[in-house]
Amino acid sequence: MLSLEHLSKTYADGTRALSDINLMVHEAEIVGLIGGSGCGKTTLLRLIAGLDRASAGAIRLDGETIDGPNPAVGIVFQEPRLLPWLSVFDNIAFGLDNVSSAERKARVGHALEKIGLAEHAKRWPRDLSGGQQQRVAIARAFVTNPKVLLLDEPFSALDAFTRASLHEHLLGLWEETRPTVVLVTHDVQEAVTLADRAIVMQPKPGRIFDELGLGLARPRDKAGLPFETSVRRVLTALDQSLNTPQKQPQRERDRQAAALWW
Amino acid sequence: MTGQAESQAWSSHEGAAALAAPVLAEKRRAFDWRVLLGFFLPILIALLWEAAVTFGVAQGRLVPPPSRILATLAALSETGELWTHVWATLWRILAGFAIGAAAGIVLGALSGANETIRRLLDPTLQALRAIPSIAWVPLFILWLGIFEASKVALIAVGVFFPVYLGIAGAILSVDRKLVEVGHVFRLSRTKLARRILLPAVLPEALIALRSGLGLGFMFVVAAEFMGASEGLGYLLVDGQQMGKPDQILAAIIAFALLGKIADSILVYSTKPLVRWQDTVRERL
C-alpha cells in the first residue's frame, strides 16, 4: 500500500506547490489524479518517484519510507525520454542491469510482444512514431516489475486514436503484474477509462479537492451509461474545484451580511 | 504542374522504398555520386590557369601552373624528401593532438561535471585562451629548446582550448530529462557517467576533437616556421627563401590533402559511435 501523509512541497522561491496531501492507494489499485494545470499533479508524482524532496510529510510504501528513487517505484514521463543511442530493445532493458542476460532477453522480448513492437527491437528510437516511443517507455517501466507505477500524463501529446490503443496496451501490461498505478492526467475520459478512483485536485496551493470511486468493471464500455455517468461526476467535481475559490469569499460575505442584518 | 507531379512521384517512390525496406539500425548507404560535384570547381580553375600559361596569356612565374606544381610534388616524392617532411609534420601533429586533446578532455570533463572545479579552473583557462597562442612561441623556445618539444607543446596548446571548451559545454548541456531517467533507475555516479553522460556528449565531443585537429594543422605551420629542418612548414619557408613558388604551393597542397585525410579518418572512424543521431545530415 502506498500512503502519502501530510505531504507538502514549497519551492525555494516560496511557491507552495502542494499542501497537506493525504492519500492511500491500495495494492493493484489504479488512481487517477486529475486537475487543471498548476495544481501540483506532476510535483506530487516527482515526490513519489524520489526525484524531488518533500518539504514536509512522508511517503510510505508498505511501511517503508520513500525519500529517493526506489526500485519498487517506476515512472513514465510526459515525454518518452528514450535514450537515443540505444536500440528499442536496449532502451527497454535499461533498468534490467542486475538480471541475467537470458532473463533480460525473455522479459524484454515478452514486453515487446505485449506492446506490439517485436519486429522493431533493433531500431533506433528516432525511427519510431511518438505513440510507439511512448509504448517503449511504458514497457521500460514495466519490465522491472515495480510495485508502484507512476504515469505523468504519458498520453497527453498523442492523438485520440493512438491514445485509445495505448490505454489498451497499458491495461494489458498492468493485468500481468497488477502494480499500483498513480496516473496523472488532465483528460477526464482517460481517468475514467483507466482508474478505479479519481482524485480531483485544486490549485494554489495544490491540494486534494475530492475523491470519487468509479467502481466500473473492466473491460469498460466507453459508450455505456455507467461510463458516461462517471465522466459527468468527475467533470462536475472538476468544475466545483475550479469555482470554489470564487465561491468561498462570496459565502463568507453572505455570512457577514447576514450577521449585520441580525 | 510537372514539378508537382514530379515531387509526388518522388514522395511515393520514397514511401514505397521505406515500406519495402524498413530502415534498420544497421542499414548501410550506397555511395553517393554527387560527392564528385565538389571536384568540379577546383579542377576547372586549375585547367583554366594551365591553359592561360600554356597559351602565353599569363607568365606563370610567381603563380606556377598546376602541371609544374604536380611535377615538383612528383620530384619531391621521388627523392623521398616529401615523405620525410610529411612524416615529420604528421608526427608533430599527432603528438601535439594527443597531449592537447587528452588534457582538454580531462579538464573539460572535470569542469563540466563539477561546479566547484569549474569555478576554480574555468576563469584561468579562459584568460589563457585569450592569449594568441603564437605569443607562447618565444617562451616555449626558451623553456623547451628549439627542437621537437617546443613545437609539440605549441600544437598541444592550440588543440587544448577548443577541445576543453567543447567537452565542458557538451557536459553542461546534457538534457536534464535524460539524466533523470538515470536517477529513476538509481544509477551510481560512475554508471550515470558511462551510460548516459558519455553517450550524450559524444557527438559534441567529436566536433570539439575535429576543430582541435584542424587547429593542430594550423599550429604545426607556426611551429615549423620557428626554425625546423624538416616538415611541410619548413618546405614553405624554404620555398620562400629560395624563390620557389611551386614548392610552396606543393607544400600547401600537401597540407590540404593531409588535413582533409586526417579529418575524414576522425569522422569515419567515429561514425559508428554516433549513428543513432537524429539529424538531417543524411537528407541534406
pLDDT at A133 over 50: yes
Classified as helix, coil or strand, A253 is helix
Mutation for B interface: A46, A53, A82, A83, most B CBs within 10 A: A83
Q: How confident is the model at residue B280 (pLDDT cuts 50, 70, 90)?
A: low
Query: What is the β-pairing status of strands A148-152 and A180-185?
Result: parallel
| CATH number of domain containing B116 | 1.10.3720.10
Pair A202, A212: CB distance under 8 Å: no
Q: How confident is the model at residue B11 (pLDDT cuts 50, 70, 90)?
A: very low
Question: Among partner residues B185, B196, B202, which is closest to A95 by beta-carbon distance?
Answer: B185
| Cross-chain Cβ contact B186/A69 below 8 Å | yes
Sign of the C-alpha dihedral, residues B88, B90, B93, B97?
negative
In a domain, B172, yes or no: yes
| Cross-chain Cβ contact A81/B180 below 8 Å | yes
| Residue A85 near chain B (CB below 8 Å) | yes
pLDDT at B8 over 60: no
Region A43-55 average pLDDT: 89
Res B14: pLDDT: 44
d(CA B153, CA B146): 11
Q: CA B114 from chain center: how many Å? A: 29
Res B6: pLDDT: 42
Neighbours of B170 (CB within 10 A): 22
d(CA A58, CA A60): 6
Region A22-35 average pLDDT: 89
Res A101: pLDDT: 87
d(CA B101, CA B160): 6
Res A252: pLDDT: 53
Pair B271, B210: CB distance under 8 Å: no
Pair A206, A196: CB distance under 8 Å: no
Report ipTM for this prediction: 0.82
Q: How confident is the model at residue B279 (pLDDT cuts 50, 70, 90)?
A: low
d(CA A154, CA B120): 42
Region A21-50 average pLDDT: 87
| Cross-chain Cβ contact A124/B276 below 8 Å | yes
In a domain, B34, yes or no: no
Q: Which three cell numbers stand for residue B263?
A: 579529418
The residues in A 86-125 lying below 8 A from B, measured between CB atoms, are 86-87, 94-95, 97, 122-125
Instruction: Look up the domain containing B200 and give its range.
Output: 64-274
Residue of chain B minimizing CA distance to A81? B178
In a domain, B73, yes or no: yes
Res A89: pLDDT: 92
Q: How confident is the model at residue B12 (pLDDT cuts 50, 70, 90)?
A: very low
Region B15-42 average pLDDT: 62
Neighbours of A159 (CB within 10 A): 10
Q: Kindly state the percentage of chain A with pLDDT values over 90.
A: 14
| Residue A74 near chain B (CB below 8 Å) | yes
Region B53-58 average pLDDT: 85
Res A250: pLDDT: 52
pLDDT tens per residue across span B236-251: 988 888 888 888 988 9
Rg (CA), chain A: 20
d(CA B32, CA B18): 18
- Assigned CATH topology for domain A2-261: Rossmann fold (3.40.50)
Neighbours of B112 (CB within 10 A): 23
For chain B, how many structural domains are there in total?
1
Q: Which residue's C-alpha cell is 457577514?
A: A256
Q: How confident is the model at residue A58 (pLDDT cuts 50, 70, 90)?
A: confident
Region B119-131 average pLDDT: 92
Q: Which residue's C-alpha cell is 593542430?
A: B216
User: Burial letters for B224-255: b for 16+ Cβ neighbours within 10 Å, e otherwise?
Assistant: bebebebbbbbbbbbbeeeebbbbbbbbbbbb
